[in-house]
Chain A
Amino acid sequence: MAPTGWILGGVRTPFAKAGGPLKRTPSYELGRVAATEVLARAELDPARLDEVIFGHCAMPSEAANSTRIVALRSGVPEQVPAFTVHRNCASGMEAVASAVYRIASGDAHLVLAGGMESMSQIPLQYTFEYAEWLQGLMTAKSPMAKLGALARFKPAMLTPRIAIAEGLTDLVCGLNMGQTAEVLSREFLITREQQDAFALQSHLKALAARERLREEIVPVFAAPGYEPIRDDVGPREGQTIEALAKLKPYFDRRNGTVTVGNSCQVTDGAVALLIGDDAQAAAWNSAPLGRIRSFAFAGLSPSRMGLGPVFAASRALQKAGLTLADMQLFEVNEAFAAQVLACQAAAKSDAFAKAELGRDRALGEIPDAILNVNGGAIALGHPVGCSGARLLLTLLHEMKRRNLKLGLAALCVGGGQGAAFVLERP
């Protein structure tokens, strides 16, 4: 029996492009806003929580175990333990999975889980060589020793490390995320035009969904002037295929197809969900959002990481005893248009299923009409620590609106992994 749990309620902050209106709001402040609101809307006494688990990729040095900071500042009593998880882009889903494992084992009944990220505030870093040199200078006692230290200085030491660029590059295969998308565009022959068309759709769908998305969004009053941010800052009004076509490929200047326009945006945001067991769900003071039927994580080659959703979905469906055709609604994270399109192609391919998924027939079709119906990360952004949780929240809200029973949410993960959740509304 696959471990399950209930998503009782959830809330997220607006997602805003990095360097935009949320740039002065630290990640743990975004997390606090989402956590406080999900507790308030549920009228839940935080003392009832057994654990707090958030995903967070770039944890700031002043907030080690940022989830604990979020918990304490959201009024969660000191007695409730908290920890932070990191599975790259699937950190938000990993947090929920960690909650479900604890619930399934009986170690927890009610968990606050989610994710947070401020990609705006990812710092520039000094090199180790510079730090070592400074240390040498400070410990040098005599004037001669100090002179010696000064003489060892090299200007190259001051060149900062750009942490966000390093974070988005896989150390093992040496490709950054965009380059892995180029790999897939070549493998599945996905043209520039196809990617741009997909990107445009993401923006159009997101703009059309503004009103609907407000249901799941809690406004952030952004520092320093407490300006109210109520909607996602990312979807572009008046986006056209022509404007997209003008952009130059970003990751392969000469022969590439992937541009900043058909990639997800670097973004700030947070998500908070309440995960509970059957007893909690039965006694909940409002209708729970939905139930986690099954979930799975899968590994694959880091250079093809974009196909992660297919591998993970295959496992999750197997665990649930369901097929892709049973799924009535899909959320697949739009890391890159090429990557989502590649997933659709791979899922449809018998050859791929036989060679890579250990199945004798194709996984199935992910129809455009029921995929990312309210827009995706290309328009809304991808704050890496929490996107996984956002997919679950958004999927369930839309399943509720359409009165659907089964849905699938899936993510590709930098480093060569995939994550997928099968959600149901009984």
Chain B
Amino acid sequence: MSIFRVEAQSRGIAHLVMDHPERKLNVLDVAALDSLEQALSELESLTDLTGVVLRSGKPGSFIAGADVEAIGAITDPDEVRRLIQRAHAVFLRLERLPVPTVAAIDGVCLGGGTELALTCDSRIASEEPRTQIGLPEVMLGIFPGFGGTTRLPGVVGYPAALDLILTGRSLDAKRAEKMGLIARAVPAAWLLDHAHRRLAELAKRPDDKRRDRHRLRGLVPWLLDGNPLGRSVVFSQARKGVLAKTGGHYPAPLAAIEVLERCVGQTREIALALECDTVSPLVAGAVCKNLVRIFGLSEAAKKAAVVDDATVRPARIQRLALAGAGVMGGGIAELASRHGIAVRVRDLKPEALQKGLQTIRSVIDERGRKKRMKSREKDGQMALVSPTLELTGVQLADFAIEAVIEDLDIKRRVFAELEVRMRPEAVIATNTSSLSVDALAEGLQHPERFVGFHFFNPVHKMPLLEVVRGARTSDSSLVTAVAFARRLGKTPVVVKDSPGFVVNRVLMPYLREAMHLLEEGYGVAEIDAAMKHFGMPMGPFEVVDEVGLDVAHKVGAVLSRAFPTRMAESQMLVKLAESGRLGRKNGRGFYLHQGRKRTLDPAVRGVLGLTVERKAASLDLLTERMVLAMVNESARCVEEGIVSQPGHVDLALIFGAGFPPFRGGPLRHADTVGLQGIAARLATLHAEKGERFAPSSMLVAKAAAGERFTS
């Protein structure tokens, strides 16, 4: 069974069909390249060939890309170069077939799949929602290296090429047609008919004009793309944009821009060689490895089994009972209704329900603008949310989420009320961020149905969901909860019931360290700058202002009781809150807020009673202490079995707290820096600064044994 096969059709047309026998989706691995070489030899030998249609033999999907696992494993840049050169050579043979070639795309078409389609003279695609065409390589720390960077500008122009390559976004067939990436979007039922028709159209063109080419239509495209000056502006804008977004931490987008710029007007051979030379070191580099690892971890989080017993099946969720219409409740209701789940949301006051409905509608409108949803679609989603002041209409619910105020007794009462009304098989979940799932389960008739289901704010943007397994949570409830999280499009990480679970627990010592630094005299802006320089999207004080000083203090209080040495309570937040500072929500916190703008508040030092002022010799000294606090706590999470593997801590901190993905997470970062060095620094800080830096014994042991946390 070969991966690529040639199927002869009538009138000299041949179908080049990719159908990888060992994979559910077509992937361009080394075996596929072998097979493609053979298939091309077969095509090149056909005497009355009139045209070739490249298509997938897997219904509903085209080609999902190159072998991500292989990309993650390969570390020798020369090996990468050889592989890429080989791919380039094979693809060139397809491009240079003497007959018209058309790619017929139905379903997912990403990365190498798009690049293979670009070697064809023309492309058509099916209009189904499953058809998504893109070049997401940049998200793995590389850029399209199978000839895509070389060929794309000729098809869509430089501005569009930069857009697709630098964002990695996917297009549906209609948008792909508009951009010129494909010639025509057609119904899936007529895809092959149209492919054959396109072959006939191409055959009428002279040989040197056979390929679909980008045409500059209109003044603006010519200004931007049709002349060197305009293009250089486009390139410099692209560079600026990348630097602003990535802080220079990601080499791939800048390298892609360089290749695109230098290849303007070059021959195919020179451009491909430059593409190969530039992308090879990136593939072998650390950023790519880290991003591929995270990608693998997140795919596993979305698919892997979470219990040993394979016979446990998740229950299907059609109706959700939701207690609490606050910020989180509103976000959860929008998310569930977006996925076609009927939500019965209860709150005690009509005003609370009003606000909740407003929250839901504003998220729907925001998403509706981006996706150009029709108003009847938005109304239809809103109609799935049914607000109530009484706890009625929950008997048929399959899943309940409690998102009320963080108070043990109030929450317990909600669970008791729900349990009396709901079916015994229905799962009851809590969105608590700081209370113990086991403590909350006390008093339930069936504690085995109870699970923690911790969303992050804002619900519609943050992908992480901590699914907390209580001591008595059954396999069935856990499996149902994880499946539900996945259905809602979230990345679930299963954690043990422990204060702060993973994300808040690792963040707290980090935030506390920032406050220690502030007490020692360093500036708020400096400390924040240090962490942003490290790669965090926001600095620690910006985060606290965003979350709210009252909320941060509350969570801090809970964690300080659980971990008194490392997360001792700080009076700082209390003092600031007493002076009327709650963060962004009331315009004043560590910063002064006006809408989106943030300015330093010089009065903060006075309120906190800080007299010493100090400047750091280098930001790295500040960064180091805060990052070590995170690393140390992350190690303890693994040590205490809060998660089942170190990768989950990395995944959680990246998806739930914005830890820079290019560093791969706190534990991967620690491995990269070297555990021996980390252990030594922790020991020094332990002696200098106190108990809070006492190193995790697992970290010390691994350092001594020359082991790593991550593979």
> Which residues of chain B have a CB within 8 Å of any CB of chain A?
342, 344, 350-351, 353-354, 357-358, 361, 379-380, 383-384, 386-389, 392-396
Contact A225/B358 with A73-B380, A73-B383, A75-B342 known, Cβ cut-off 8 Å: yes
A40 touches B386 (CB 8 A): yes
Instruction: A40-B344, A226-B354 given; name 14 further pairs at CB < 8 Å.
Output: A29-B379, A29-B383, A37-B393, A40-B386, A43-B393, A45-B396, A73-B380, A219-B350, A219-B387, A221-B353, A221-B357, A221-B387, A226-B353, A226-B358
Contact with B along A27-62 (1 / 0, CB 8 A): 001001000110111010100000000000000000
B354 touches A225 (CB 8 A): yes
Which chain B residue shows the least CB distance to A230? Answer: B350
Which chain A residue shows the least CB distance to B387? Answer: A221
Q: Considering residues B379, B383, B384, B396, which has the most beta carbons from chain A within 10 angstroms of its beta carbon?
A: B383
Q: Which residues of B contact A41 (CB under 8 A)?
A: 392-393
Q: Which residues of B contact A230 (CB under 8 A)?
A: 350
Which chain B residue shows the least CB distance to A70? Answer: B383
Asked if A367 is at the interface (CB within 8 A of a chain B CB), the reply is: no
A228 touches B354 (CB 8 A): yes
CA distance A230 to B387 in the complex (A): 13
Which chain B residue shows the least CB distance to A75? Answer: B342
CA distance A75 to B386 in the complex (A): 11
Q: Which residues of A contact B353 (CB under 8 A)?
A: 221, 226, 228
Q: Considering residues A39, A43, A225, which has the most beta carbons from chain B within 10 angstroms of its beta carbon?
A: A43
Selected A-B contacts with CB under 8 Å, 29 pairs: A36-B386, A36-B393, A37-B386, A37-B388, A40-B386, A40-B388, A41-B392, A43-B392, A43-B393, A43-B396, A73-B380, A74-B383, A75-B342, A219-B350, A219-B387, A219-B389, A221-B350, A221-B353, A221-B354, A221-B387, A225-B358, A226-B353, A226-B354, A226-B357, A226-B358, A226-B361, A227-B354, A228-B351, A230-B350
Q: Which residues of A contact B393 (CB under 8 A)?
A: 36-37, 39-41, 43
Q: Separation in Å of the A31 CB from the closest CB of chain B?
A: 11
CA distance A32 to B387 in the complex (A): 12
Q: Which residues of B contact A40 (CB under 8 A)?
A: 344, 386, 388, 392-393
Q: Which residues of A contact B351 (CB under 8 A)?
A: 228
CA distance A32 to B385 in the complex (A): 11
Q: Which residues of A contact B384 (CB under 8 A)?
A: 75
Q: Which residues of A contact B383 (CB under 8 A)?
A: 29, 32, 73-74
B386 touches A228 (CB 8 A): no
Give the number of residues in A that approach B within 8 Å (Cβ atoms): 19
CA distance A78 to B288 in the complex (A): 49
Which chain B residue shows the least CB distance to A32? Answer: B383
Which chain A residue shows the least CB distance to B395? Answer: A43
CA distance A32 to B383 in the complex (A): 8
CA distance A228 to B387 in the complex (A): 11
CA distance A43 to B426 in the complex (A): 15
CA distance A226 to B384 in the complex (A): 15
Q: Which residues of B contact A221 (CB under 8 A)?
A: 350, 353-354, 357, 387
Q: Separation in Å of the A21 CB from the closest CB of chain B?
A: 13
Q: Which residues of A contact B379 (CB under 8 A)?
A: 29
Q: Separation in Å of the B288 CB from the closest CB of chain A?
A: 48
CA distance A226 to B383 in the complex (A): 13
Q: Separation in Å of the A115 CB from the closest CB of chain B?
A: 19
CA distance A45 to B392 in the complex (A): 13
Q: Separation in Å of the A67 CB from the closest CB of chain B?
A: 15
Q: Which residues of B contact A225 (CB under 8 A)?
A: 354, 358
CA distance A40 to B383 in the complex (A): 14
Which chain A residue shows the least CB distance to B384? Answer: A75
Which chain B residue shows the least CB distance to A222? Answer: B354
Q: Which residues of B contact A219 (CB under 8 A)?
A: 350, 387, 389
Which chain B residue shows the least CB distance to A36? Answer: B386
Q: Which residues of A contact B380 (CB under 8 A)?
A: 73
Minimum-distance CB pairs A-B, first 8: A40-B393, A228-B350, A43-B395, A226-B357, A73-B383, A226-B354, A36-B386, A41-B392
Q: Which residues of B contact A75 (CB under 8 A)?
A: 342, 384
Q: Which residues of A contact B358 (CB under 8 A)?
A: 225-226
Q: Separation in Å of the A70 CB from the closest CB of chain B?
A: 10
Contact with B along A216-248 (1 / 0, CB 8 A): 000101000111101000000000000000000
CA distance A36 to B298 in the complex (A): 38
Q: Separation in Å of the B395 CB from the closest CB of chain A?
A: 4
CA distance A36 to B380 in the complex (A): 14
CA distance A334 to B380 in the complex (A): 36
CA distance A45 to B396 in the complex (A): 7
Q: Which residues of A contact B388 (CB under 8 A)?
A: 37, 40
Contact with B along A299-326 (1 / 0, CB 8 A): 0000000000000000000000000000
Q: Separation in Å of the A413 CB from the closest CB of chain B?
A: 32
Q: Separation in Å of the A160 CB from the closest CB of chain B?
A: 25
Q: Which residues of B contact A226 (CB under 8 A)?
A: 353-354, 357-358, 361
CA distance A227 to B384 in the complex (A): 18
CA distance A201 to B671 in the complex (A): 83
Which chain A residue shows the least CB distance to B352? Answer: A228
